[in-house]
Amino acid sequence: MAKQQLSGRFKSKRISWTDEELRITLGYYYFIYEHNTREHDYELFTIHLRKMTGNNRSFGSVGVRFGNFNSVNPAKSGTGFKGGDKKCKPIWDACINKDGTPKTSFIKEFMDFIQTYGGNNKIYEPFVKKYKQYLKTTGKAIEDDDSDDVVTTDDVDQSESFGAPEYKIEPKPQSTNVVSKKYTRDAYKAKKAIFNAGYECNIDKTHVSFKTKSGKNYMEAHHLIPIGAQDDFNNSLDVDANIVCLCPNCHRKLHHGANIDNELLKLFNDRKDGLKKSGIDITFDDLKKYY
């Protein structure tokens, strides 16, 4: 009798790791695993990761990813598992600043994961405590951009000279520390955005609010990537490419609306080339995390 080949019956389809899955795994590695390598705890994390993705990721494969992140961690002098690090290095760079501190969007994404899939499990307590302290220190994870001192049509002085938008790399603006860290903004650039838009909404030119005393349509300036995310970028976010002109309804919708993907995508597609020229590299998926 011919020998029956059974090995193929037990082979499962290989599922590639998604960037989101890798970011969350990096979150556990960075915030928890480095300080607690108990196998039972990271196996529990793996179960929560499965809930998020629906992928039947094994405990061992998650452990290997910890080794991959260890190999790209500058503080570890190259120790860890090589191989999969090629995919993990870009994830590390996207989530961790050059000085080794975590980026704001990365902190928030991992906290969202815990709240959605981790419940009140004790393995996350060290991170949750640090997160609460972080909120006390900074006021909140992402500054509600443009909520104060918003530049509007009434601020545009017709005697000022506004040139065309300039797409160039600029250094980070200075920051001030009062109750929370806040970066300074150049009101001239915000006025310039409204002027160059012709006092029309960058989302929809047909949107009409009301006429101001100057006879112009009332519009407001808005930073597409919030200034509160400045720590996540090496170059200034207070640049022409990142400042848009919006009617007050669209502006409030971006800050408080439930379904804003279409509006954000319109602004992103219009500005992505200018953002790149200004040294700001961001994907649409990453932009959405700030809203």
pLDDT per residue as tens digits for the range 209-255: 888 888 889 999 999 998 878 888 888 898 999 999 999 899 988 88
pTM of this structure: 0.47
The domain tally of the chain equals 2
Q: Is residue 161 part of a domain?
A: yes
Domain boundary among 138, 162, 187: 138
- Cβ-based neighbours of 146, under 8 Å, separated by 6 or more: 220, 221, 222, 223, 226, 227, 251, 255
Shared-domain flag, residues 165 and 71 = no
Question: Could you tell me which residue, 268 or 146, shows the higher pLDDT?
Answer: 268
Domain boundary among 111, 138, 165: 138
Shared-domain flag, residues 251 and 197 = yes
Q: Is residue 122 part of a domain?
A: yes
Separation of alpha carbons 138 and 143, rounded Å: 9
Shared-domain flag, residues 31 and 113 = yes
Question: Would you state the pLDDT for residue 180?
Answer: 35
Give just the sign of the alpha carbon dihedral 272, 273, 279, 282: positive
Shared-domain flag, residues 55 and 158 = no
Q: Is residue 73 part of a domain?
A: yes
Shared-domain flag, residues 62 and 183 = no
Range of the domain at 70: 19-138
Shared-domain flag, residues 36 and 124 = yes
Q: Is residue 4 part of a domain?
A: no
Lowest mean pLDDT among 103-107, 183-187, 263-267: 183-187
Q: Please compute the mean of the pLDDT values over residues 275-291 and round it to a whole number.
A: 90
Q: Is residue 147 part of a domain?
A: no
Separation of alpha carbons 126 and 118, rounded Å: 13
Shared-domain flag, residues 184 and 225 = yes
Q: Is residue 11 part of a domain?
A: no
Shared-domain flag, residues 113 and 191 = no
Instruction: Check: CB of residue 135 under 8 Å from CB of residue 179.
Output: no
Domain boundary among 138, 173, 204: 138
